[in-house]
């Protein structure tokens, strides 16, 4: 099993600030502490399976910023198809967890599966370690219309089919693909080089449009390797092109996104 943990989640997540950052750090720390063991129990243990699972939960949790649906849950009131048959069931059993468990019937079913009283204590579903267990249980029990499991769809690298199973449609597909790219870069680094991505403050994920000291540090690294860049702290087209050239030369996906694998390659070459 790859050593995925809180640093893995942090490398995939979008950077936040203020209260969102605090919430994100708490969720990442809680889920990250049990990540490898929980994934392994659900056979989410190959690079592709891990990458697809992490991409989906990153999207569904708003980049690990929440394990509770932002809406009130009133929209689910009276939804018999969700098992919401009692007054107040909509808000009581609104979406919680890394994959947004919703409805009394689902709280009851997954509580039974995990030996937890989620129906009686629905707030438990928002606890990061518990929400990870629920997400893994959901992942291993759901099937496509053709009866194919999510691990098997991940083996096929089929993000559209996985999204259809989880979402019921293709809502947020571009965002899920965005996180999948990040997750693949992190997992590839772990699998191929044994490199554990640094924390979100140490190795930020950078891309076109970013500004600041982290971008300037990246530009210094690239300039030291012969790329003619102005060190201005702005991740513009020239920096993106330099990143893509560097990634291609290092055998990485030339997507112009500086994630864990690209930082690792820069560090290795710097040491050499």
pLDDT tens for 169-223 read 999 999 999 999 999 888 888 876 554 444 333 467 888 888 887 888 889 889 8
Considering the domain architecture, whether residues 141 and 17 belong to the same structural domain is answered as: yes
Q: Are residues 140 and 33 in the same domain?
A: yes
Work out the angle at residue 3's Cα, subtended by the Cα atoms of residues 50 and 142, and round it to the nearest 5 degrees: 25
Q: Is residue 228 part of a domain?
A: yes
Q: Does residue 61 fall inside a structural domain?
A: yes
**Alpha-carbon span 265 to 211, nearest angstrom:** 22
The pTM assigned to this predicted structure is: 0.72
Residue holding tokens 């690294």?
221
Token duo for residue 148: 């194919």
Q: pLDDT digits over 113-126, tens only?
A: 999 999 999 999 99
Name every residue whose Cβ is closer than 8 Å to that of residue 160 and which is 6 or more positions away in sequence: 170, 173
Q: Which of 37-46, 196-205, 261-270 has the lowest mean pLDDT?
A: 196-205
| CB-based contacts of 202, cutoff 8 Å, min separation 6 | none
| Residue 65 CB burial class (10 angstroms; 0-12, 13-18, ≥19) | buried
Is 135 in the same domain as 59?
yes
Does residue 202 form part of some domain?
no
C-alpha to C-alpha distance for 241 and 33, rounded to whole angstroms = 37
Query: Which own/partner contact pairs does 145-153 have at CB distance under 8 Å and 24+ positions apart?
Result: 150/52, 150/53, 151/43, 151/44, 151/49, 153/52
Domain shared by 12 and 140, yes or no: yes
Structurally, the chain folds into a number of domains equal to 3
Residue 130, judged by CB atoms within 10 A of its CB (0-12, 13-18, 19+), counts as: buried
Mean pLDDT on 136-151? 94
Q: Both 119 and 137 in a single domain? A: no
Could you tell me which residues come within 8 angstroms of residue 238 by beta carbon, excluding any fewer than 6 positions away? 229, 230
Question: Which of 1-5, 194-198, 251-255 is predicted with the least confidence, judged by mean pLDDT?
Answer: 194-198
Are 172 and 58 within 8 A, CB to CB? no
> Tokens representing 257?
């996104």
Domain hosting residue 169, numbered range: 6-67+127-193
Q: Is residue 152 part of a domain?
A: yes
Give the per-residue pLDDT at 192. Answer: 66
């Amino acid at each position: 099993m790859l050593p995925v943990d809180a640093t893995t989640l942090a490398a995939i997540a979008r950077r936040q600030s203020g209260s969102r950052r605090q919430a994100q750090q708490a969720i990442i720390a809680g889920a990250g502490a049990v990540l490898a063991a929980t994934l392994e129990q659900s056979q989410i243990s190959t690079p592709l399976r891990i990458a697809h699972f992490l991409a989906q939960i990153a999207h569904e949790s708003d980049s690990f910023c929440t394990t509770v649906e932002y809406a009130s849950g009133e929209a689910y009131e009276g939804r018999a198809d969700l098992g919401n048959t009692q007054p107040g069931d909509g808000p009581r059993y609104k979406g919680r967890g890394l994959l947004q468990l919703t409805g009394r019937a689902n709280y009851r079913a997954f509580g039974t599966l995990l030996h937890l009283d989620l129906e009686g204590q629905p707030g438990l579903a928002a606890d990061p370690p518990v929400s990870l267990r629920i997400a893994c249980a959901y992942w291993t029990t759901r099937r496509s219309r053709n009866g194919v499991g999510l691990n098997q769809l991940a083996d096929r690298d089929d993000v559209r089919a996985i999204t259809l199973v989880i979402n019921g449609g293709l809502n947020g597909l571009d965002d899920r693909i965005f996180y999948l790219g990040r997750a693949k870069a992190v997992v590839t680094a772990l699998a191929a080089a044994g490199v554990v991505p640094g924390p979100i403050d140490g190795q930020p994920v950078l891309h076109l449009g970013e500004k600041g000291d982290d971008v300037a540090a990246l530009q210094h690294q690239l300039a030291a390797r012969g790329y003619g860049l102005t060190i201005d702290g702005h991740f513009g087209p020239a920096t993106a092109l330099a990143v893509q050239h560097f990634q291609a030369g290092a055998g990485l996906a030339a997507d112009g996104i500086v994630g864990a694998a690209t930082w690792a390659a820069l560090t290795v070459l710097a040491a050499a």
